[in-house]
Structure 1
């Protein structure tokens, strides 16, 4: 499938390929939809196997961002910046400043922030060349992206528990976390406020030890055992896809809710999970906590404001579940319908001129 065919399939507005030979920068800027406002999307640095993999990731992730923005009632659109790191050296200041100049050239079409493989220091380099970048955390008075994302997942889980078990408290449940990196570790902190059992796995021993040092009762399992672990809630916090056609029958949970993007190998699996009576929270919903880091594409909220806003994910998830039941569709399809409907309605009023030209009586008469 060609690039334009892929853009048509996913509904993208613009794909920008950026290359800078001196720094070996290879970037793909994907802008999916800007009906609601400037596209917003993280800047991901990853060692993709191929150019095609990098492009496909940018297309999928930017589309998810559009859904997240619409679901979160944000006045932003969806985009993503993917950096294809296919060399041995660590990207330096010049590398990210080169990216900043490409972003500046788009004049606000997209605003970015740290994502997998990048951090606030990298964003500071980008900011030397453009204002279309957000810096989160203590220096700005805002919340860290990992913390706000974990908070949102926590509240999304509670909404799912309310539907499945009749109570929003997680006391007495067993929750399995796949991946305890920055978000997974923060999620464990939120979960252990309640009286529950925790199962974790990760490829990194130090991360596992960190969680078990804080919560000695935590049970550690091998990565290949986490999906088949007996639990109430499975929370994928690592790279997707996680649930595939091959392993879906291994699941021993009632709820899937985690911050991993692309939890499902194929969207058709959402129907299979529904058939198996497993409630799967769409990543576009429970992972949209980062949308509450800002009031719009530029104004960063305080940590207190952001965390309070992330609690809205409980109501958003409940709304998605209700629509899923009412229309007998998967939660994924329900989330997408809610997002598409908001985009359609807002898009329909865009041809109204907000500031019409006012002519004086003399001008009308030609005096």
Structure 2
């Protein structure tokens, strides 16, 4: 008997997508609950350093492939973020398909929490785009593998301030490399996105004496910033504004083949994930004398807070570790300079060393 050949697929399948040349994803779970309509994907990229940790985001993805691509890309970034920050965690991410304004309910989050529990502690979920601490409280009712619960139930609360604090520290390290001083007084910083990270970053920059130019697609976010910080200048765009530092703090991919040529800043350091639409664009930035602090280095403050909540750290201990993002960013920048590579390559090499050492134990 001869076996019938399978027809060729038009696009790579799931098992092709989860592979990666260096570290393939270790587990991808597709979660469906008929009663609530939950459609979610939990992607666990690496468990080499410890349980995977990463947020749960809700977005109205165009289709399941788009949701899968986002989960895989983000979970891999979380692996590098955890490894770079010195945490004993791997990278994971969960995505729920739907508009957060319509699909969120207690029942849906309880169903999602049960899927998290089924991972047996391999994945710890947390807040992300479209989810808040109250949602984590519901999830925490069915699984202990959750972070960013509200302080009212013993959690660490919202991660916006710690993420912004980490970005500020990475920005100071980048400023030291570019201008010889970590002081941001008098520097002009373009903050793109005024959500919980961008808004807190504006506040911290204001305290540092920096001049801030900001933008957001939300009129409410702009009005809030105007009210609290009337000295902040609002612009249509900050990416190509005359600023010293460009801080992308909205969704990723803002630096692409077109926008990369418009950047006037000498330092790019922000809270958004996956800022480069193509990793090769870092070479273009470097060729133009622009220093990029890799996003997963700069925005590790929230992840550090999540790990601290899971481990039972005090708020002071967490803040101290978040402030150490300065040292992490400086180590990456110095390694890149000494090795003759970009900061993106340097950060990946340093993280790879740590992951491989754990895998060989």
In the superposition, the TM-score normalised over structure 1's length comes to 0.91
Q: How does 1:27-176 map to 2 (within 5 A)?
A: 27-85=40-98, 89-139=102-152, 140=154, 142=156, 144-176=158-190
- Say whether 1:256 aligns with 2:305: no
Q: How far, CA to CA, are the matches of 1:20 and 1:332 in structure 2? A: 39
**Residue in structure 2 matched with residue 336 of structure 1 by the alignment:** 348
1:264-299 residue CA offsets vs partner (Å, 9 max, x unmatched) = 000001111111110011011001112221556722
**Residue in structure 2 matched with residue 195 of structure 1 by the alignment:** 209
Q: How far, CA to CA, are the matches of 2:350 and 2:114 in structure 1? A: 35
Q: How far, CA to CA, are the matches of 2:350 and 2:52 in structure 1? A: 19
- Say whether 1:219 aligns with 2:244: no
Q: How far, CA to CA, are the matches of 1:161 and 1:145 in structure 2? A: 24
1:284-337 residue CA offsets vs partner (Å, 9 max, x unmatched) = 100111222155672243322222211111000000001111121111111111
**Residue in structure 1 matched with residue 6 of structure 2 by the alignment:** none
Does the Cα contact within 8 Å between 1:113 and 1:134 map onto a contact in 2?
yes
**Residue in structure 2 matched with residue 4 of structure 1 by the alignment:** 15
Q: How does 1:272-283 map to 2 (within 5 A)?
A: 272-283=284-295
Please provide the CA RMSD for this pair.
1.5
How much does 1:12 deviate?
A: 0.6
Report the secondary structure of 1:48's partner residue: coil
Does the Cα contact within 8 Å between 1:200 and 1:221 map onto a contact in 2?
yes
**Residue in structure 2 matched with residue 318 of structure 1 by the alignment:** 330
- Say whether 1:179 aligns with 2:217: no
Q: Which runs of 5+ in 1 are unaligned?
A: 350-367
Farther-moved stretch of structure 1 (290-299 vs 38-47): 290-299
Q: How far, CA to CA, are the matches of 2:148 and 2:208 in structure 1? A: 32
How much does 1:5 deviate?
A: 1.4
CA pair 326-54 structure 1, distance change in 2 beyond 3 A: same
Between Structure 1 and Structure 2, whose CA radius of gyration is higher? 1
Does the Cα contact within 8 Å between 2:155 and 2:309 map onto a contact in 1?
no
Report the secondary structure of 2:163's partner residue: helix
Q: How far, CA to CA, are the matches of 1:48 and 1:195 in structure 2? A: 40
Q: How far, CA to CA, are the matches of 2:87 and 2:73 in structure 1? A: 20
Q: How far, CA to CA, are the matches of 2:233 and 2:110 in structure 1? A: 44
Q: Which runs of 5+ in 2 are unaligned?
A: 1-11
Count residues in correspondence. Answer: 347
**Residue in structure 2 matched with residue 359 of structure 1 by the alignment:** none
Report the secondary structure of 2:107's partner residue: helix
How much does 1:120 deviate?
A: 1.3
Q: How far, CA to CA, are the matches of 1:297 and 1:110 in structure 2? A: 15
How much does 1:230 deviate?
A: 0.5
Q: How far, CA to CA, are the matches of 2:171 and 2:338 in structure 1? A: 20
In the superposition, the TM-score normalised over structure 2's length comes to 0.93
**Residue in structure 1 matched with residue 4 of structure 2 by the alignment:** none
Report the secondary structure of 1:192's partner residue: helix
